[in-house]
Chains A and B, each alone.
Chain A
Amino acid sequence: MEARTNAMDPEKRELTRRSFLKMVAGSGLLLGLSGLLGGCMEDKSPAYVGGKGWLPYQYDLPGHLPAQVRGRVPIDPDNPSLSRDDQKCVLCGQCLEVCQSVQSVYGYYGLPVIDETICIHCGQCSLFCPTGAIRERDHTQEVLAALADESKFVVVQTAPATRVSLGEEFGLPPGAWVEGQQVAALRKLGFDAVLDTNFAADLTVMEEATELIKRIKGEAKRPLPQFTSCSPGWVKFCEYFYPELLPHLSSCKSPQQMLGALVKTYYAGRRGVDPGNIVSVSVMPCTAKKFEARRPEMNASAKYWQRQDLRDVDVVLTTRELARILKEKQIDLAALPEEQYDQLMGEKTGGAVIFGATGGVMEAAVRTAYFFITGEDPPASFLNLTPVRGLAGVKEAAVEMPGVGTLRVAVCHGMANGRKVLEAVRRKETPWHFVEFMACPGGCIGGGGQPRTAVPPTDALRAQRIAALYRADASLGKRSSYENAELAALYQGFLKHPMSELAEELLHTRYYSRADKLRPLSLAG
């Protein structure tokens, strides 16, 4: 705020007022008089300051016409996920366009605002902003400080989707598979443990499939269809706009938060590290994860140890932020040898890998649900559930589950598509048992924290990243989450079984209506 001048300093101003007389009577008056006697101004026409700059052409229209593309989204200075540099903004309107048309957030609430700026923190605006004015709130310094602190045990987890996008920051083509290089780079940075969020994705599948079966069997007393809950932007969207549908949301935390809770409980116990000394970092394709990690209820480890000072996830970095750190440290990702994740929470299956793509969570959950219901490995059609793959806005599939009948599922991504599904559910017009929602187009591979490889991102780019995930899935020996051996050990030695009491405590959560934060407008309106 260097632009602040004395004019705003009340004290100085007081002073000025008091000394005004003196000043005018003295030098000021002299100055005035000399200018006056000089008679220096012949220019009487209103030739004034201002108007020497420019505006984007869409604003140069006659005063009585309404402009179409204009303005930008509001971003509060205390937005936990995003910040904006006003000096770079050129008012192109792209952020507003994506927020309104793709996410159906801006413009979908009545004015006047109540007491907060409505934002689901998806960060799509930061992918569309051509000047880079909007970007993630920078948390790189916190991570570097933790790494520099010898007394801290710094744990990092990496999301399913960053391994097919981080390479783009280092000149590799979209979808380049850099899982091993990413692990190596994180070790080089000095992280004490490099864990895989994929492990928690498998865990999420176990919990979520169990919950789904309980709902279908009527044991859970919760309505169908069940909604996925791993996209924090989507969760906040639902809390804002469809609070009455919150019971549909799976109580499962997202993989990031599941792993965070386990790092400071299970992992800390097994490794003999004081949870208070652990700094839990995650690398995510998502800006909303920064918001999610700060949700007050995301402190299961604090409750577990009865210690108030613990957060399950301390710092969230986006893919772009990790790339910035690596570049700053002159680590050339592409040139690194591949390394493996740490053990204990580093194993994954194909089901976890595809979490990064729209439809992936659904496909992974269906594979494991089949196993839970039949006790047998799912057939090939379950391992390639093609109807829920691809970039169509809303996708549907029906699969035969022996003993249950037809399981009907739907998948949507981008909240404008989500809204269509939600409106149908609200009208009770849907046959589905399970619906996957992802806030970002394409799923996490198109997350708001991903590299700005194409601005705005294209479907071609998204498709390349998605293809890389499905290739990895197909190449893995274990493709269903229940096959994860480290996960089996976690259940055996710690959690006991899915949705056990301890699992509920650490891995599940509740949601809160945010209806009092806005006046919703109906879709028709």
Chain B
Amino acid sequence: MGRSQAVLVDITKCVGCESCVVACRLYNDLKPGPRAGGEAKPDGPAELAPDRWTVVQSFRVEKDGSRVRRFVKRQCFHCLDPACASACFAKALQKTPEGPVVYNEKLCVGCRYCMIACPFEVLRYEWDKPFPRVLKCQMCLARIANDQMPACVSACPTGALTFGDRDKIIAEARQRQYSRPDLYVSQIYGLTEAGGTSWLYLSDVPFERLGFPTGVPERPLPEYTWAVLRWTPHLFVGWGALLAVMYLYNRRRAVAHSEEEMYAPVDAEE
């Protein structure tokens, strides 16, 4: 195992410039529709999409009796023990030693178990494509492997995003909380949620008011295999059947095969 990298999002430092969003789009060659600029940035539901792996949501909330506006950058949390990966029998989603949970479209069979499994509802499906993929933030694994920051982090002008070893990132978050106890709420979101994540958040407003899912179990979700198990009885006779099929699948996967094109990546052009 290499060093597990993480990003700290300090919500108190975000000015909503969306540089991170543009950096993500540039680096990952995503092509969203034009933003007319006329429409107001909605509070809350600027949503992730197959071609928008990160968004900055805007919330107007009460804080100490007055109205404040907060911006929340959202993307995949890159769980330490990702439910999506454990739900994926095709191993299309994998946690890498560097930290990112990445998606390999060549392995994906399109079953979308992962989408149900993810406690943060991050994964997005290309509903409108003939061979849809399940897309999400990849935490710029290639950049991280090359000793660079994820694209969004390197573009953030305010220091709202900090990249580094997860241990150091946690220490940094604690340090900030310690030096400004008047400012931050005591929680570090992502420290324990879903067994811990590689994206951690600091805030001065309780997280539930900023649309963060509450009640995400603290134990790593794969321990429950909750989402998968919920469905398995209907799909197969039981867990054993799933394992059997997975065994079969894993063996077959080693064999090169001519139908590969069927699940080859769909070109970006529509």
Q: Which residues of A are at the interface with B, using a C-beta cutoff of 8 A?
A: 1-8, 17, 20-21, 24-25, 28-29, 31-33, 35-44, 46-55, 59-64, 67, 70-78, 83-87, 89-91, 93, 96, 111-117, 137
Contact = CB atoms under 8 A, between A and B. Distances in A.
B124 to A, nearest CB: 5
A50 to B, nearest CB: 4
Contacts of B116: 17, 20
A14 to B, nearest CB: 13
A5 B127 contact: yes
Contacts of A63: 5, 144, 147-149, 163-164
Contacts of A111: 12-15, 158
A62 B151 CA distance: 12
B192 interface: no
B51 interface: yes
Contacts of A5: 49-50, 124-128
Contacts of A59: 23, 149, 151, 154-155
Contacts of B107: 41, 43-44
A72 B104 contact: no
Interface of B: 5, 11-19, 21-23, 25-30, 32-35, 37-41, 45, 47, 49-53, 60, 66-71, 90-91, 94, 96, 102-107, 109-112, 116, 124-128, 133, 135, 138, 140-144, 147-149, 151, 154-158, 163-164, 204, 231, 234-235, 245, 248-249, 251-257, 259-260, 262-263, 265
Given A39-B257, A61-B154, A96-B157, A46 B141 contact: yes
Contacts, number: 257
A32 B109 contact: yes
What are the 10 closest A-B residue pairs judged by CB atoms, nearest first?
Answer: A71-B157, A39-B252, A83-B37, A53-B29, A71-B19, A74-B17, A112-B12, A2-B33, A50-B138, A59-B154
B215 to A, nearest CB: 18
A91 B255 CA distance: 45
B69 A7 contact: no
14 contacts: A4-B47, A5-B126, A20-B231, A43-B107, A47-B104, A48-B105, A49-B265, A51-B142, A59-B149, A60-B148, A72-B19, A72-B22, A77-B39, A115-B66
Contact of A55 (B124, B151, B255): B151
B69 to A, nearest CB: 4
Contact of B49 (A8, A31, A46): A8
A201 B17 CA distance: 37
A40 B15 CA distance: 46
B60 A35 contact: no
B245 A36 contact: yes
A40 to B, nearest CB: 4
B130 to A, nearest CB: 12
A370 to B, nearest CB: 47
Nearest to A2: B33
A42 B253 contact: yes
A389 B67 CA distance: 45
Nearest to B128: A5
A77 B46 CA distance: 13
Contacts of B45: 8
Contacts of B35: 1, 84-87
Contact of B38 (A46, A83, A89): A83
Nearest to B253: A39
